[in-house]
Amino acid sequence: MPFVDDVVNILPKTLRDLAIRHHELIKFAIVGATTFVIDSGIFYILKLTVLESKPITAKIISGVIAVIASYILNREWSFKGRGGREKHHEALLFFVVSAIGVLLSNLPLWVSRYFFHLHVPDVSLTVENIADFVSAFIIGNILQMVFRFWAMKRWVFPDEIDALVEEFEELYEEEKPLGFS
């Protein structure tokens, strides 16, 4: 992406080296920011209109839409240089990891709403909206972001060499002669 390259090139050398070394994390964060806007925009549109009494449902719908956008952006940009898996296998792993992420991001919202009762009529509408935002979008997204970055690098978009080593080890275990361990 030329814009990102231009930004990296104007950084001081120490920051530029750091940005180059952690380019996947930076791209993952940019994708995360983009999908955050998608997620929060759709969530509030749904929560303030057709799903006013069902914020968890609104968050799950917005989360699923954001996950689809995330897959496309991460596959084609953040982890473009990784791979080695067939696309359908990669997509399945991505959506399983992301589903776990959606559940992790909804857990704080559920706790806020149904454990601490931070919803109308127990609190004001302002407090409810602040609690929803902090629990779902700050705490929940931090939980899912840490988990998803780790899982994406580890399982979904592994380095090709790691995937080859893993495949070789599995083949070796299947084919090793009797008496060898």
Report the 3 state secondary structure along 104-136.
HHHHHHHHHHHHCCCCCCCCCHHHHHHHHHHHH
Mean pLDDT of 26-46: 91
DSSP 130-180: HHHIIIIIIIHHHHHHHHHHHHIIIIIS--HHHHHHHHHHHHHHHHPPTT-
Contacts of 155 (CB under 8 A, 6+ apart): 93, 97
**pLDDT beyond 60 at 181:** no
Quote the distance between the C-alpha of residue 2 and its chain's center. Answer: 24
73 close to 39: Cβ distance less than 8 angstroms: no
Instruction: Output phi, psi for 86, to 5 deg.
Output: -70, 150
Write the CA distances from 120 to 40, 61, 117, integer angstroms. Answer: 20, 22, 8
Q: What is the pLDDT of residues 130-140, one digit of tens each?
A: 999 999 889 99
| C-alpha–C-alpha distance, residues 48 and 26, integer Å | 32
pLDDT bin (cut points 50, 70, 90) of residue 176 is: low
Q: How confident is the model at residue 20 (pLDDT cuts 50, 70, 90)?
A: confident
Q: What pLDDT digit, counting tens, does each position of 56-76 carry?
A: 899 889 988 998 999 899 888
83 phi-psi bin (left φ>0, alpha ψ -120 to 50, beta other): left
CA distances from 44 to 14, 59, 141, 162, 163 (A): 40, 9, 16, 41, 40
**If 0-12 CB within 10 Å is exposed, 13-18 middle and 19+ buried, where does residue 49 land?**
exposed
Question: Domain spans of the chain?
Answer: 2-175
